[in-house]
Chain A
């Protein structure tokens, strides 16, 4: 059996039991990358040299009888908007094409303390703005299930890498669905934790009140393990929550008896893709058969999340991206007349079209005369969405909805209308608005053989309930066992 196709938990066990050397695992994963990456294009940077040095160091420790951590020796990929000391972190933008951080994000430190090995940085939509990874300045990542289709986004590289067995797990970031939607499109598990559970220190900011880091894995068990490693308070992120550390693997019980699953019938209507609808109905039946109570709930404001999101997220982005001025780091235009010209040319040449669109939209909704009509009103609607969820969770433990209204689309399908692309986020965005945890689990395939994801949402900091239901769903289905068949070779 090839090592690369193992789940994270299994490969970690084999290393710990000394059935395999860490170097052999690395050899196997990099050889898989050699064979598959030319077709999938999931990575921006590979870090072989650092990875092999670290493998040697960890193996020595292990051979000396030392504990090398719960992820000891396991190769993991990182989205290229998470800072890695000494390794380029580009945000898939010309603006940061040559940016090399001089510090590690807190999540990188935590992964390394747990013994993980970073093997490379993955492709993404520029500054995480997009739902298809097509806005990357670097390359186009393909969906491993059909190379003519998008992997979803913005963490498309991380999703494609895990889906095509080019990493045992990956980190992504989720502002409006950027972990869950690509996980759904590529048939892997993608978990967006409660806002505040994971430190954002070292995550290059897009929309600070929404951004959250989370894992991509092959199984729900692996996701719980990754969460154990990366969760926790960090004084370097003042929005990180100071709560007691939990063991999320304790929630991995194949049992939903006594659990109530909320089905928002006013939000998930018959307007969605019929294959997605069928998979959703089947998922409801699966949990019902497993002993869960199914309850219809109302989320009347959820449908307004998208409009709210595109006001709040772009407003925050226009402010966050003000720092890219061509002065201290990042791209600086070659020819300019004066300081003002330097700012303008550096930003005009350094940012791509989607990033400019969002900076301008955010500037518009914050500008004098429009602030009350758009930004303030959006924040008020956000309150209504938050309260909507609070009320819903009085009646159920976990809410289940599809991750996306459609499956992966062909490259360029939404080029003409950015708004059409935005609509793909309709089922993921409400979760970010309310800061809740949610996980996408493989839940079927459409008539073209493209994956469908089912999303489980819980109360803030109630990841355990969410994981238990997600795990039960996974254990009572077989979709997560299917892998795309990619012809190896260049």
Chain B
């Protein structure tokens, strides 16, 4: 396997996902298969080829820095899973 169980545990941790043992096995197999497939790219000569991050030839698109009306606070809070006194409420952040 090109991707080990330890690798999957590590990336699940980075992704903030909890996996059951069964899922760990399944994802290890799946990711190994996909990574093996992706390894075909290692045979291509890419010496001196510039990477494409974005297809359009545009850079640094700016808008005018103007104060504009934003959305209403109550409207925005409608989608918050938990709120209190006009704010989104979360568990204690600083230990």
Contacts and interface: CB of A to CB of B under 8 A. Distances in A.
A308 B56 contact: no
B75 A102 contact: yes
A223 interface: no
Contacts of B75: 102
A92 to B, nearest CB: 17
A279 interface: no
A296 to B, nearest CB: 23
A366 B45 CA distance: 21
Interface string B50-62: 1111111010010
Contacts of B69: none
B1 interface: no
A239 to B, nearest CB: 6
A418 interface: yes
22 contacts: A99-B79, A304-B44, A307-B37, A311-B41, A327-B80, A327-B81, A332-B81, A342-B90, A347-B17, A357-B30, A360-B11, A360-B17, A364-B3, A374-B41, A377-B42, A377-B44, A381-B49, A382-B51, A383-B52, A418-B30, A419-B33, A422-B34
A401 B38 CA distance: 23
B11 A235 contact: no
A344 B18 contact: yes
Interface of B: 3, 7-8, 10-12, 14-18, 27, 30-31, 33-35, 37-42, 44, 46, 49-56, 58, 61, 63, 71-72, 75-76, 78-82, 88, 90-93
Contacts of A364: 3, 7, 11, 31, 35
B85 to A, nearest CB: 16
A185 interface: no
Contact of B40 (A307, A336, A380): A307
Interface string A357-384: 1011101110100000110111111111
Looking at chain A's contact residues, the main secondary structure is helix
Contact of B11 (A327, A331, A363, A373): A363
A338 B92 contact: yes
Given A241-B56, A327-B88, A386-B52, A367 B11 contact: yes
A289 interface: no
A386 B55 contact: yes
B94 to A, nearest CB: 10
B95 to A, nearest CB: 8
Q: Which of B51, B75, B80 has the most CB of A within 10 A?
A: B51
A326 B63 CA distance: 31
Nearest to B89: A327
Contact of A360 (B27, B55, B58): B27
Contacts, number: 159
B50 A380 contact: yes
A328 interface: yes
A327 B77 CA distance: 11
Given A332-B82, A367-B11, A356 B46 contact: no
Given A356-B17, A360-B12, A209 B55 contact: yes
A257 interface: no
Contact of B81 (A310, A329, A351, A419): A329
Contacts of B14: 363, 367
A326 B30 contact: no
Contacts of A373: 42
B53 A379 contact: yes
A361 B55 contact: no
A47 interface: no
Given A102-B71, A344-B17, A357-B27, A328 B93 contact: no
